[in-house]
Amino acid sequence: MNENSKGIIDRLWGAFSSMKLGLTLLGIIAFVAGIGTVIPQEAMDQGKAQAVGGLWKTLGFTHLYSSLWFRLLLGLLCINLIVCSTKRLRSIYLRTFKLTPPSKLAQVPQKNKQVVKGELASLRESVQEFLRQKGFRVTLSDQSNPWSFIATKRRLGNWGSLITHLSFVVLVVGALLGSLLGFKGSFTEEAGKTLPIQAIQLSKGTVSETFSVSINSAEDRFLPNGERDNWYTDMSILENGQEVARDTLSVNHPFEYKGITFYQANFSNGARFTADMGGQKNPVVLQDQGQSYYKAPGTDLYLVANLSGSSSLKPSVLYQVYKGTGADPIQTGQLTSGQTIDVQGKYKLTFDSLAGFTGIQVKKDPGVAVIWLGCGLLLGGLLLAFYWQPLVISGILQSEKGKRGSLTVGVLSGKMPDSTRKALEQFVSSVTKMIS
């Protein structure tokens, strides 16, 4: 039983330590991710995603990136990367910190090697001088016969690949943290209103915090040339009714409080009205483009507003009144600021002023810091791997006749054989020049 389980573990370890598996998983992930850009996704276009065939929906193709099997693929890739990295750790450590000079000719890299002949003492000195000048880290053999050396430059580049691979695991952990411990939601509110954080519309997770958010002002600001500058929201955080933080946020300039970040996501205009029903005056605020409606109490009349053509200098509103579920409006018209109309004899409506509705996205994601750490590691690893490639030269000096000898020197070919060959040629020509 024990041997069996050991065999299974070994087999699993063997399977997951395969780079072939990693590449296959990457290929599958790329292919599947590509499919997700063609099939409508619920997160992007719920309407179109609903129209997709039942089988695709059942298989999770309309919420592909959050489906269990897609996450399973990412998980398998993580395991593969961890196992591969663990397996390579020791050899990378040895290659970086424990390089040993060759003790016999066969240990000199065979693919890229050359021989230099000369006086033993002169060869030894020239080699050391050249390596010192070029900034190599040199390790010499303990014994003098045969004398040998191994020299390395940019040795930390050995870690580039490992760091890059592990950074992917860090990124997945960061995403997981955000998914399990965070929440995401939004709210649209006009200036002067306060709402508890728990009242926001959530799309993911739950809110445990209890503070309130007060919108002091919301502004759609324009530049002198008529271009939109940005949307600005002056916002306060209230704890037990007391303001504890305040900031003005705009797109690309979020505001953070206790790990919860508020993003300026959008902005919509609206209009303030007063509805007068037999002397009882009710304030009414409607969003542009019929995004909200007003149903007068005791009637089946629905009022919506449209602000196209309105400006801050000349505020005006197009209104439409619908009856019940009727598709066509029974009353329409335009109102300028301060103008009053009668709505089907039921109430009087006065257009007071324009209003701004700020759209704020709210997010708590404890994984973001981990994500940035993963990004940093990914980039650092790649820079080490591609811009800081290690170079290892080793050689062995064998005496021939009397004071003369031959130095066999080789360079580890690495990823770029042509460049390493040039490095070897430079070494040989410099040493030859120095001894002559």
Least spacing, CB of residue 315 vs other proteins, in Å: 23
Least spacing, CB of residue 362 vs other proteins, in Å: 8
Least spacing, CB of residue 206 vs other proteins, in Å: 17
Least spacing, CB of residue 428 vs other proteins, in Å: 20
Select from 354, 245, 419 the least CA-distant residue to 427.
Answer: 419
Surface-to-core class of residue 26, CB atoms within 10 Å of its CB (0-12 exposed, 13-18 middle, 19+ buried): middle
Least spacing, CB of residue 231 vs other proteins, in Å: 6
CB of 39 or CB of 140, closer to other proteins: 39
CB of 128 or CB of 261, closer to other proteins: 261
208: left (phi over 0), alpha (psi -120 to 50) or beta: alpha
Select from 77, 80, 79, 66 the least CA-distant residue to 33.
Answer: 66
Tokens representing 427 are: 């070494």
Neighbours of 162 (CB within 10 A): 20
CB of 351 or CB of 365, closer to other proteins: 365
Least spacing, CB of residue 23 vs other proteins, in Å: 6
In degrees rounded to 5, what are phi and psi of residue 145?
A: -135, 110
Please list, residue by residue across 188-226, b when 16 or more beta carbons sit within 10 angstroms of its beta carbon and e when fewer do.
Answer: bbbbeeeeebeebeeeebebebebbbbbeebbbeeeeee
CB of 74 or CB of 277, closer to other proteins: 74
d(CA 261, CA 366): 11
CB of 34 or CB of 278, closer to other proteins: 34
CB of 35 or CB of 244, closer to other proteins: 35
Map tokens 């304030």 to a residue: 283
CB of 42 or CB of 276, closer to other proteins: 42
CB of 238 or CB of 251, closer to other proteins: 251
Give the binding site for other proteins (CB under 8 A): 19-20, 22-23, 26-27, 29-30, 33-34, 36-38, 41, 43-44, 65, 175, 184, 227-231, 250-254, 261, 263-265, 361-363, 368, 371-372, 375, 378-379, 382-383, 386-387, 415-419
Least spacing, CB of residue 285 vs other proteins, in Å: 24
One-letter amino acid of 279: G
Do residues 141 and 149 make contact, with C-beta atoms less than 8 angstroms apart? yes
Peptide bond into 417 cis (omega under 30): no
Report CA-CA distances (Å) from 427 to 67, 112, 119, 423, 424.
56, 12, 17, 6, 5
Least spacing, CB of residue 78 vs other proteins, in Å: 15
CB of 30 or CB of 68, closer to other proteins: 30
CB of 237 or CB of 362, closer to other proteins: 362
Least spacing, CB of residue 146 vs other proteins, in Å: 33
Least spacing, CB of residue 250 vs other proteins, in Å: 7
CB of 10 or CB of 229, closer to other proteins: 229
Least spacing, CB of residue 69 vs other proteins, in Å: 15
